[in-house]
Structure 1
């Protein structure tokens, strides 16, 4: 009876953890989508190690949600194969998350280099491509910035000249506010640095969340192994 009661407790904890896994999966997908939206506005030329990281995060989140579903079915039915599958897949997810974290650290400088390069390339098409102009305007308004390194980058764009910047650079955006502008009326800081600051600010949040997810996953693997051992030993788990 003591073992049976202990396994009931294990099952209850597994159910709680599976709910946590679902929440973590949704969180990972949200983080991946957010990072992808930010990078897609600036990195547009092909697949690079930095631009693929959000895709990996989204894939891991979706896979974790699927694994949580498998674990829920295995726990409910006390199925040996499903619980073993759950434990193995959860271990694989942890390995992928560790690899993604290492890749994110290794390629952190490369990501910013890609952002800077692509931002400057898109600036060249500002007057000829409406889609690019819309994306850059939104980026400058959202991050309260102007140009790649600073507002003077726009002086090198054909058709603008030294006395004009996009209206989205203005502190108070109005029609033609970027023509014959005063420096005090526009944002002078570059967007690349602002994006870098945003990424660095959120790295701590992501790191803390990753540690929390890793702890929950390790606990889930341990509890799953306990339940597998009980099922294999032939105990009846209610």
Structure 2
């Protein structure tokens, strides 16, 4: 009778754990959609300006979230199959996959958290060099600079006067322009010939770019560190189910 009772108790425990894991999988899938969405949003929103950064942390964090979000869909299917079929192998794979996703999300959160305070300093040291050394010499960076100056209503990295020290000016690529046309308040052909404050924006782009990247990094950090905690519960429940199924088969 004691053995019979133990068997019933194990079955009840397994049923409970399977029910909990089904709920967890739904929440896990929704979190994966959220992670994927944040990664895609980050890449789509600021990918054009990544070419102007010397540190790859921001871009790497976004792409890791995208990969993690895609993995969640696959892992959810494995988890559902393992639970529905009482398949210990699938449940074991599911547990290790949760651990992998936990590590990836934690990595994104920690990287973003550590990089965020240094964005301003990095841009202060490097953004102006990127502007003056690459404009009209590197098509990708030229496009990013023009788009930034138009979108942020700014001119130069720090000040509009930065442009007089650029290779664009020194190599006579400016065609008589004092600043690129993208600096103008109203963009027309050759409007950059005048650097009067009524014609161009005087504010540099560095502070606005730094502020937006820092805001994005805070979001990436919160998503990475916040959602990775969810995987801890999934790993605990899946390990318990694996052990219970093993005991029942013995």
Task: With the length of structure 2 as denominator, give the TM-score of the two structures.
Answer: 0.74
Matched, 1:216 2:226: no
* Residue 7 of structure 2: aligned partner: none
Confirm or deny: 8 A CA contact 1:154 1:161 kept in the other structure.
Answer: no
Query: Does the aligned pair in 1 maintain the 2:91–2:242 contact within 8 Å?
Result: yes
Match of 1:120 among 89, 105, 129: 129
For residues 15-94 of structure 1, the aligned pairs below 5 Å read 15-31=25-41, 33-34=43-44, 37-43=47-53, 48=56, 52-94=60-102
Following the alignment from structure 1 to structure 2, what is the Cα–Cα distance between the partners of residues 210 and 128? 37
From 196, 210, 223, the counterpart of 1:196: 210
Quote the offset at 1:154 in angstroms.
Answer: 0.9
Deviation at 1:204, TM superposition (A): 3.4
Q: Structure 2 unaligned segments of length 5 or more: list them.
A: 1-10
Say which SS state the counterpart of residue 182 (structure 1) adopts: coil
Three-state SS of the structure 1 residue aligned to 2:102 is helix
Shift of 1:147: 1.1
Q: How does 1:57-206 map to 2 (within 5 A)?
A: 57-108=65-116, 115=123, 117=126, 120-157=129-166, 158=169, 159=172, 160=174, 164-206=178-220
Contact 2:157 2:205 in 1 (8 A): yes
CA distance in 2: counterparts of 1:203 and 1:81, whole angstroms: 37
C-alpha displacement at 1:165, in angstroms? Answer: 1.2
Q: Rate the CA distance shift 1:202–1:55 in 2: closer, same or farther, 3 A.
A: closer
Q: Is the 8 A contact 1:25 1:64 kept in 2?
A: no
Contact map agreement 2:119 2:214 (CA 8 A) in 1: no
Q: Is the 8 A contact 1:56 1:100 kept in 2?
A: yes
**In structure 2, what is the Cα distance between the partners aligned to 1:4 and 1:108?**
44
Contact 2:25/2:80, CA 8 A, preserved across alignment? yes
| Cα separation, partners in 2 of 1:186 and 1:76, compared to 1, 3 Å | farther
Count of matched residue positions in the alignment of Structure 1 and Structure 2: 233
Listed one character per residue, the Cα deviations across residues 178-204 of structure 1 (whole Å, up to 9, x for unaligned) are 221322442222222211100222333
The 1:99/1:77 distance shift into structure 2, 3 A limit, reads: same
1:207 corresponds in structure 2 to 221
> Aligned in 2, Cα 1:21/1:233: closer, same or farther, shift over 3 Å?
farther
Deviation at 1:85, TM superposition (A): 1.6
